[in-house]
Structure 1
Amino acid sequence: MIMKIIPYMMALLGVLLLSPVTGQEIAIGVKTPLQSDILKEERNLLISVPEGYEDGQKTRYPVIYILDGETNFNYLSSMYHYLSREPFGILPQAILVGITNTDRTRDLTPTATAKEKAFSGKRQAGFKGSGGNAAFMDFISKELFPFIEKNYRSNGFKVLIGHSFGGLAAINNLLEAPLFNAYIANDPSLWWDSELLIRKSENTQQDFKGIRLFLAQANNARVRNVKDDEHEIAIGKFKTLLEQGRLANLQWKYAFYEEDDHGTVPLPGNNDGLRFIFAPYRWNVRNALKDPETIRQHFDQLSADMGYKFQPTELFFKKLMEIAAERSTPQILEQIKAIEQHYYPQ
């Protein structure tokens, strides 16, 4: 009997060995080209929509714009999706847009300047072609924003995330003419052009009411084994100005990361920065399974705090009702359905 089975077993083994291993592709976003007349080049965008976006019809979301998209988009979109899972997420679901670089120094620096640096034992000027940030921000405001608003369901609330030169660009836009409601600046290069933005901060007369800034600083002095690091000196001066209230009515928070250097600080900085920006979103959603009216109360207060209309997503109601069907009374379930109709009437 065993001898008769062996040929069939060998044939099955052969099929398994020759068959390719197949699986389902996992995608966290799409790459979309956008032709820029302002920059006279094509720019690649990396765009991630939240869970339930395609199934929904009416939910509108904040948009988070990420500079250095080729470096920061993958980990940040994965982290954000995890922290915004419905219905128990601590961040609101959002659309993430990564902007990839073509000429990073040009796009992210506000002025044309040079800095002497050592290369192959010789002194030479660095940062050739710098100073194109004004055109880059025009691209964002006049081409990128309209593209996203036309093709995606945005609620109008915008966040900008930048690191190093990207952080420099973020704070420069904050000081010049804010295009965003909130900013995360990770170890920004505030030493640029003899601390240009420190001088701007000292002289600004703007009112920053309703704008949020999270400033992350790395422990570069220890890692680089130097006593006075230019990042730390300049960021320290900017922090002092914030403490003095020079940026009137700005909602801000600062964090120093003892164990992170310039290259690693965006990971904890973005995590903490997003939690700071969207702190009013966090609530005990389990209360809604006892008193569904707390849903409206929470999102009304959230909208007032953020200055923009925030509402529960269609996916929020779907998942909350699944839980309510198992754990709550039929009356509670009906109340949740009625509140869903308030936000999404048929």
Structure 2
Amino acid sequence: MYSEALNDSISLEITLPKQLKNNTNTEYPIIYLLDKQLQSNYKYNLYTIDYLSTLQWMPEAIIVGITFSWKNRNSWTNPNINGGQADDLIQFIEQELNNELKKKYPISDFNLLIGHSRTAIFSSYALSKSPDFFNGAIANSVSNFDFGDKLQQAQFEDFLNKIPSSSHNYYYYFSVGEESYGDLHESAVDTLNMYLTSKALPDNLEWKYFKHKVAHDLTPGVTVNKALSEIFKNYGRRIDICFDLAKESRNKVPWEEFEDLYSSISSDLGLKIQPSELFFNSIASEYYNDYDNIYGNNNLNFTLEILLKAVEKDPKNFSYYSWIGEIYMTQKKIDKGNQYLNKAI
């Protein structure tokens, strides 16, 4: 894709969620994987995201791999005021690329950067420069972001002062190997960690420092999975929380509490999260099986209530109709049972 901002062409690879064609009402987060040319780390990141989203610990995402050739890697990761084009690259991602993605795919406003070394520095700078667009960065072996550059220090402090007024959380996860294992960035990243540890930080900034006993090139492989798991932890455990909410409400289905939970997760991420097939099947199973006899004679009625709501959300899912028909048959409501079983067929 040619960029007017950079006055250069950029090599991109876009990986789409498996369910994109089926989930027409879903808006997907975007994850920018920088340094696509480093295939071992790039493929690892793809597999990690696929693993976490397949197990529904994180939402499925649209993944944009961006190649940094050796001729532009330094210039694209240095701020314009220092003679680079990092600000132009931010403009490309935020405006030119985002507009193209909007034309083709149902995208959300959640944008996460993942970078390593030079592109980790860029990720940190981009997050601090444009917090209205970027939600977070995973900066592996982030190197020179130790505030030796007064401009970047001032930029990051401005970011910390600005984000408390935002309604959602920001995520900054960074890592380094150890110098004794060949990562010469250790002292610089220690400086960043000491800086953040010494400050009173905004409540809506989630951050963590990972130090690994590995070489510089291995830091993405031991950081990205942990960082993504942390960023999406409340999304990942949402069903377990819903189980607890159901158990605390023996006499009715706690729809308001379920909605509040999903609304809270959406607000934290700045990304609309809705109950999905996993929610409806899991909570319906909780009521249907009722292993601990919590719901008594209400268990089948509660199951029906969940499944009838599921049908409203997904009227083409035959398994819901089959299950509803089975329950009506169990309740001796033969006409209704036949009605839903025939719909399933």
- With the length of structure 2 as denominator, give the TM-score of the two structures: 0.71
State the match for 2:264 in structure 1. 301
Quote the Cα distance in structure 2 between the aligned partners of 1:271 and 1:73. 13
Q: 1:154 aligns with which of 107, 114, 123?
A: 107
Quote the Cα distance in structure 2 between the aligned partners of 1:271 and 1:106. 29
Cα distance change, pair 340–201 in 1 and its aligned pair in 2 (3 A): same
One-letter identity of the residue aligned with 1:263: D
One-letter identity of the residue aligned with 1:264: L
**CA-CA distance at 1:244 after TM superposition:** 2.2
Greater C-alpha Rg: 1
Cα distance change, pair 324–98 in 1 and its aligned pair in 2 (3 A): farther
Quote the Cα distance in structure 2 between the aligned partners of 1:295 and 1:248. 28
Q: 1:43 aligns with which of 4, 10, 22?
A: 10
Q: 1:264 aligns with which of 218, 229, 244?
A: 218
1:174 aligns with 2:132: no
**CA-CA distance at 1:258 after TM superposition:** 2.9
Quote the Cα distance in structure 2 between the aligned partners of 1:339 and 1:61. 23
Indicate if the aligned counterparts of 2:176 and 2:189 stay in contact, CA closer than 8 A. Answer: no
Quote the Cα distance in structure 1 between the aligned partners of 2:241 and 2:161. 41
State the match for 1:137 in structure 2. 90
Cα distance change, pair 221–201 in 1 and its aligned pair in 2 (3 A): farther
Indicate if the aligned counterparts of 1:302 and 1:310 stay in contact, CA closer than 8 A. Answer: yes
Quote the Cα distance in structure 2 between the aligned partners of 1:308 and 1:206. 23
Q: 2:46 aligns with which of 67, 77, 85?
A: 77
Quote the Cα distance in structure 2 between the aligned partners of 1:101 and 1:244. 34
**CA-CA distance at 1:133 after TM superposition:** 0.9
Q: Any stretches of 5+ residues in structure 2 without a counterpart? A: 247-252, 291-298, 317-345
State the match for 1:234 in structure 2. 188
Counting helix residues as a fraction of each chain, which structure ranks higher?
A: 2
- 1:50-199 equivalences under 5 Å are 50-71=17-38, 72-85=41-54, 89-102=56-69, 103-110=72-79, 131-178=84-131, 179-190=133-144, 194-196=148-150, 199=153
SS at match of 1:269: helix
- With the length of structure 1 as denominator, give the TM-score of the two structures: 0.71
User: Which structure would you say has the larger RCO, counting Cα contacts within 8 Å and 6 or more residues apart?
Assistant: 1
**CA-CA distance at 1:49 after TM superposition:** 2.0
Quote the Cα distance in structure 2 between the aligned partners of 1:42 and 1:338. 51
Which deviates the most, 196-205 or 177-186?
196-205
Q: 1:217 aligns with which of 175, 178, 187?
A: 175
Quote the Cα distance in structure 2 between the aligned partners of 1:112 and 1:272. 34
**CA-CA distance at 1:90 after TM superposition:** 1.5
SS at match of 2:162: coil
SS at match of 1:167: helix
- Cα RMSD, aligned residues only: 3.4
Quote the Cα distance in structure 1 between the aligned partners of 2:24 and 2:169. 29
State the match for 2:233 in structure 1. 279
Quote the Cα distance in structure 2 between the aligned partners of 1:79 and 1:297. 30
State the match for 1:126 in structure 2. none
Which deviates the most, 138-147 or 283-292?
283-292
**CA-CA distance at 1:152 after TM superposition:** 1.3
Quote the Cα distance in structure 1 between the aligned partners of 2:200 and 2:283. 48
1:336 aligns with 2:317: no
State the match for 2:274 in structure 1. 311
State the match for 1:13 in structure 2. none
Indicate if the aligned counterparts of 1:195 and 1:234 stay in contact, CA closer than 8 A. Answer: no
1:208 aligns with 2:131: no
Quote the Cα distance in structure 1 between the aligned partners of 2:232 and 2:240. 19
SS at match of 1:47: strand
1:157-207 per-residue CA deviation (whole Å, 9 max, x = no partner) reads: 111111111111111123333230111111112268944466436854732
Total equivalences in the alignment: 290
Quote the Cα distance in structure 2 between the aligned partners of 1:286 and 1:332. 18
**CA-CA distance at 1:321 after TM superposition:** 9.3
**CA-CA distance at 1:110 after TM superposition:** 2.2
**CA-CA distance at 1:317 after TM superposition:** 6.3
Quote the Cα distance in structure 2 between the aligned partners of 1:198 and 1:74. 30
One-letter identity of the residue aligned with 1:311: Q
